[in-house]
Amino acid sequence: MKRIDERDVMFSRSNYTKGTPEYEDYYKRNPENKDIDDSIRSKPNLCSPGTMSYNPINSPMAESAFMFLSDIKKLSEVNPKPNKVEINPKIITERIKGYTKFYGANLVGITKMKDYHYYSHRGRHVENYGEEITSKDMHTYGIVFAVEMDKEMINRSPMVSEIIATSKAYVDVSVIGMILSYYISSLGYEARNHMDANYLVVCPLVAKDAGLGEIGRNGILTTREYGSRVRLGIVTTNLPLIEDDSIDFGLEDFCNICNNCSRTCPGKAIPKEDKSLVHGVNRWQINQEQCYDRWRSLGTDCGICISSCPFSQNLDFMQDIDNFKGNTDLINSILKQYKEKYISRPFIPTPPDWLK
C-alpha cells in the first residue's frame, strides 16, 4: 500500500498561509488544489462567528478543548527510563489492555506496525512541514484504543452539541495516550502518543489491523459495538506485546446495500459507487474537499455520516447478530426496521438542557 503524505490531508492544506514557504512549496507541487483550498480558507474557522452553528457561549467549549490539546501535544514523545524492566509479552499485554480500559477506553487492540500505517511526510504544522517519516520514527507495535462518543450529542449533528462531543472524545483519547506512553517509558521502553494534530500514523488503518473494526463507506473506522461513533487514540512502542487479529463482521456487504451515509451527507462527499483502487487498496474514498468545505460553513465537524450509520445507534435488532457477511436478506430486513424508526437518520433538533 502506498503511504499517505500528511501534506495532502485537508487539515494540513487548510493551514497553509498565502506567501509562506509551505504555501509556495505545496501549490508548486499540487497546483490543482490551489483554487479550492484558497476558497475554503476564505471561510470562517470551525466554532467561529459567521458559521451556521456559531453560539458565542457554547462554541468556545469545543474550541477550548482543541486549544488544550494544542498545548499538550509537545508531551507526546517521552524519553524512556535508562533501565528496562524485564517483560513477559503475554502479561504486559493484559496489563496494557486493562490499564487502557481503566482510564476510560471502550475498545483496545494491538497490532504490529506496518510501513503503510505511517504518513510518508509530515504536513500539519510549519515547524515540521515536509519532514520525512523514516524508520527511526517507527515502532514495532501499535496500541489502539477507542472511546465512545455520546449518542444523543452526536444525534444532534451538525449542531454545536456534536462538536462538543467530538472534541471531548479527542481529549479523552489524548489523555489516555499520554498516561500509556508515560507508563511504558517508565518501564524503559520507547513510546509515542499519537494525538490530535500530532499524528505520525493514519489512525483508521492501524485500528483496522488491530481488530477494532472495519473502514466503512464514510471513510472512517466503524466498530461492531458503536459504529462510527468513536474517536481513536494510538500509542506506538517497542514494548514486546501480543498482537490481535483483524476482524470482518460483514461491514462491506452492509455498506454496499445501506448507503445511508452517502444519501444524508450534506456535502455529497461520500461515494455512492462501489469501492475503487486508492493508494494500492480497494476501498471507498470520500471527497475530502467537499467534506471539509461543508465543515467550514457549518462551524462544526458535521457528524451526520456518523449519526446516520445504523451501527452507531445501538439498535436492539442488530445487537445479537455476529456477522452480516453475505446475508443480503438480513441486511435488507434491518434497514427496513431502521427506516421505520428514523426515516433517514436520527436527529434531535434541540440542545440538551445544560446547553440551552
Do 227 and 255 reside in the same domain of the chain? no
Q: What is the pairing mode between strands 276-278 and 77-78?
A: unpaired
Cell 451538525 belongs to 158
62 and 130 belong to one structural domain:
yes
Residues 295 and 154 in one domain: no
Q: 202 and 174, same structural domain?
A: yes
Residue 65 lies in a domain: yes
Q: Is position 167 within any domain?
A: yes
Q: Within this chain, do residues 258 and 187 fall inside the same structural domain, yes or no?
A: no
Give the Å distances, CA to CA, from 25 to 7, 20, 40, 174: 10, 9, 19, 31
Q: What is the CATH number of the domain that holds 217?
A: 3.40.109
Per-residue pLDDT 10s for the chain (356 aa) are: 899 999 999 999 999 999 999 999 999 999 999 999 999 999 999 999 999 999 999 999 999 999 999 999 999 999 999 999 999 999 999 999 999 999 999 999 999 999 999 999 999 999 999 999 999 999 999 999 999 999 999 999 999 999 999 999 999 999 999 999 999 999 999 999 999 999 999 999 999 999 999 999 999 999 999 999 999 999 999 999 999 999 999 999 999 999 999 999 999 999 999 998 887 788 999 999 999 999 999 999 999 999 999 999 999 889 888 899 999 999 999 999 999 999 999 999 999 999 99
Last residue of a domain, one of 237, 259, 284: 237
- Same domain, yes or no: 83 and 218: yes
pTM of the predicted protein model: 0.96
Which pairing describes strands 141-148 and 107-112: parallel, antiparallel, or unpaired?
antiparallel
Q: Are residues 108 and 207 in the same domain?
A: yes
* Domain assignment present for 303: yes
Full residue range of the structural domain in which residue 296 is found:
251-355
Q: Does 282 lie in the same domain as 333?
A: yes
Does 242 map to a domain? no
Contact of 226 with 319, CB cutoff 8 Å? no
- Cα first-last separation, the chain: 48
232 with 269, same domain: the answer is no
Give domain status of residue 47, yes or no: no
Produce one character per residue of 182-216: b if its CB has 16 or more CB atoms within 10 Å, e if not: ebbbebebbbbbbbbebbbbbbbbbbbbbbbbbbb
> Of 203, 237, 271, which closes a domain?
237
Q: 101: which 3 cell numbers? A: 480500559
* 260 close to 345: Cβ distance less than 8 angstroms: yes
Indicate if 228 and 257 belong to the same structural domain: no
Say yes or no: 97 and 233 in one domain. Answer: yes
**Residue among 107, 98, 185 nearest 139 (CA):** 185
Counting the structural domains of the chain, the total is: 2
Domain assignment present for residue 81? The answer is: yes
